[in-house]
Amino acid sequence: MTANDSQRKGASRVAGSQAKPRKRATPVWRRSWFRLTTVSLFLVLLGASSWWTVRTGLLNQALETVKWQSIAMSAEVGLRINEVLVVGRRHTGREELLDALGTTRGAPILAFDVNLAKERVARLSWVRRVSVERMFPDTILLTVEERTPLALWQHEGAFALIDYEGEVILRDQLNEYRNLMIVVGADAPAHAATLLETLGSQPELMSLVRAAVRVGGRRWNLRLNGGIDVRLPEEGASSAWLRLAQYQRSHGVLERDVKVVDLRLPDRLIVRKSPVIEGIELGVGQET
């Protein structure tokens, strides 16, 4: 073999050993950029679609439709109102309560709005506090705490029944409560409970009190049986009331020809036969 042949053979081997040129791979950064662009475009389209859906109200309509379809299906499987249990009702009418609840027998229990029903029931005149619960599968439980009548409030010639918190319960049909004490004055309801607590410390005397008038927004005048007026002090009304009870037990002061008993001085009790008083004319609405 000649040198030229060897050179040609070597050249052939070299030429044969050379692979066909490969296609260059796409750089990693370019692939990542493409994916990022694709995802970003998808998110933009999704956001635009969602914005359009919300803007046109279709989403809300769809959700509302699904909600009520689900509620209707729940009623078909037994989740419907068949009974309303009421605990604590004494003065409030049953029909009045049912109207305030805003539901009827057979209605889907999942459609019953507990918070709205509670707000409506709480606005009823006798209701002080209320709780409303759904008891699955078919019962509404209504627990009512009613107001406790305290006194009749006379103001501007009209009467109203008030409770211990000074809230008006009723303004008519008051005959049932005519034996309650009458309190008079614009701010009398706010202070009536404190007054009755004071008077209740001496039950024998309290049984004689017919009415109380708020004087100057500071203190009370009491009207007792027999037309006797008792003037309580601004401060220390409990001590003054106790002092009168002691005088009554020891001297029977209220059984004499007395028109006014003045307790405003802390160290003495002043009794007058004069008819001039700082009191009220019951049923007329006069306030002093």
What pLDDT score does 86 carry?
A: 94
What pLDDT score does 280 carry?
A: 44
Full set of structural domains in the chain with CATH: 83-146 (3.10.20.310), 149-272 (3.40.50.11690)
Spatial contact of 150 and 163, defined as CB atoms under 8 Å apart = yes
pTM over 0.85: no
What SS3 string covers 57-99? Answer: CHHHHHHHHHHHHHHHHHHHCCCECCEEEEECCCCCCHHHHHH
Mean of all residue pLDDT scores within the chain: 81
105-146: pLDDT as tens digits: 998 998 899 999 999 999 999 999 999 999 999 999 999 999
Residues 6+ apart with CB under 8 A from 239: 266
What pLDDT score does 64 carry?
A: 61
